[in-house]
Amino acid sequence: MLVRRSPLMAAIALSMFSLTALAASLPPDQLLKSAEAEQKAYLATVKQLVDIDTGTGQAPGLKTVSAVLVERLKALGAEVKTTPASPSTGDNIVGTIKGNGSKSFLLMIHYDTVFGPGTAAKRPFKVDGERAYGPGVADAKGGVAVVLHSLKLLQDEKFKDFGTLTVLFNPDEETGSSGSKKIIAELARQHDYVFSYEPPDKDAVTVATNGINGVFLDVKGKSSHAGSAPEAGRNAAMELAHQMLQLKDLGDPAKGTTVNWTLIKGGEKRNIIPSSASAEGDMRYSDLSETDRVLADGQRIVQKTLIDGTEVTFRLDKGRPPLAKNPGSEQLAKTAQALYGKIGRDIEPIAMRFGTDAGYAYVPDSAKPAVLETMGVVGAGLHADDEYIELSSIAPRLYLTTALIMQLSNAATNP
């Protein structure tokens, strides 16, 4: 059946098309000016967040900030759901905004910090010269604010050409994201693009991060009197030392894999041959095959013991996976470079040695989603008393998220 539009319906449709077209063709310098005008409001948001203690596990502050973030997302037009981040303290906050297009975006960052109760009162948010300071100002409350105010810019420009914009704020990244890694992985697989808002220490976006594993050595020996009958014992501490020397080259510099022993335990008293000893180590890697290789090599090497009668075990606990080098992230970085170039700035694609939640979002051997890390504001001094963000980076980083969403959304509708 043929349906005829009334003049009013046609006018409304034309108006909506014109608004979308205007947003889609917004000149980069105009979008940057809008971002610059948003900086004052951005700093007010950062101050509000920084001046509340949200150290991982600190329920009162996490609850307060969670309520603030839920309210802010709803004001931006998002449908918001919260779920407990068990076994961690606090809630995972998911906000969803539906658009008119086809491409979907996940913007994610944590709102917990490493600082103890009372830190915010002792070192409240402050602006000094070209920098702003405070606990968690860069890692990652500055990133939370980039997400909120980039969405505000899109709202102001009435841009709706995306399919879905999803925001995830999690409360436990600083202790490994045990209560949020599952939802990160699930949401990531439902989206075309994932932007994570950890802070870079220069104008950069990250295309690869390290994974983090724990490695463990356990030695069982036999105790005896260290003075009168040392030969009757089996010295677990000596065997542990032997094994650590054997395993000193377990890493692989060519692949960027490091294994460093960092904790050692053994013995009870000075006059007793120790019957047990153990060590823990930190493994960093970017090659996905290295987890299996290190485990196999470690278990093979420890079969060669120095002291007869001792038993040695080597094990590995998987932690945060890497965002491995991949074409999708590299292509996103190229798009970011091109968009930054339009406002006369350079941005560098980098690989980081530490791990982030982007590793949980990455799907090996899959084109979807494409993941880009360090989309937050530029800062440094993370986890320290002098943590700061660079004020000059605020508007360009707001521009970057907004321009990327506009560009990638319209690429789908206008190939």
pLDDT of residue 25: 57
pLDDT band at 339 (very low <50, low <70, confident <90, very high): very high
Enclosing H/E stretch for 359: helix 358-361
Q: Flag whether pLDDT at 310 surpasses 60.
A: yes
Q: What is the pTM of this model?
A: 0.88
In contact, 43 and 134? CB cutoff 8 Å: no
Q: Flag whether pLDDT at 14 surpasses 70.
A: no
* SS3 call for 271: coil
pLDDT of residue 229: 96
What confidence tens digit (pLDDT) does each residue in 47-66 have? 999 999 999 999 999 999 99
As a residue count, the chain comes to 415
Residues with Cβ within 8 Å of residue 86, at least 6 apart in sequence = 179
Q: Looking at the annotation, which residues are catalytic? A: 112, 173
pLDDT of residue 411: 79
Average pLDDT over residues 212-218: 97
Residues with Cβ within 8 Å of residue 85, at least 6 apart in sequence = 91, 92, 170, 171, 172, 179, 180
What one-letter code names the amino acid at 51?
Answer: D
What domains can you pick out in the chain, each with its CATH number? 24-209+323-413 (3.40.630.10), 211-318 (3.30.70.360)
Phi, psi of 306 (to 5 degrees): -90, -40
pLDDT of residue 413: 56
